[in-house]
Structure 1
Amino acid sequence: MKPTEEMLDEIENANNGDGPDPVATVDDPALAKIAVAQIRLRAAAASNERSQDSGVVQVTGTGSGAPR
């Protein structure tokens, strides 16, 4: 049997260093739904942040949001 440290290293470095895919590694349907919801939430938050940054640029003409 492999030592715990070696197994943990393999898990953390799966998928070319990105770590394990939560959707592919979860077999409980309820947990898979939670994992998908978390992925969608992160994507929506990132999209919202980009939209806010774009709005700041349009209003101020700068990316910092600071008044000119």
Structure 2
Amino acid sequence: MVINVISFIPYLKNISRDYHLEHEVTLGEFIQSLGIKWDDDVLIVVNRVIVSEQSILLNDGDQIELLIPLSGG
């Protein structure tokens, strides 16, 4: 299974690439394997949809985009 990651975060640019996974994993497990803290470091988009659920199973061809989290006041 191939998962494409695109990072728009300057300090995480080095993780933008294709990842070849040998077995099924959840989005949360995959993000953790990259050394990223869920919601602390990034806003996560899967196939152009913002996600908040870590238990989503990744599928072959999924595209994950990592964005800087926004906060307002």
User: What range describes the TM-score normalised by the shorter chain of this pair?
Assistant: under 0.3
Normalised TM-score (structure 2): 0.23
Higher relative contact order (CA 8 A, sep 6+): 2
- Structure with more helix by fraction: 1
- Structure with more strand by fraction: 2
- Greater Rg over alpha carbons, structure: 1
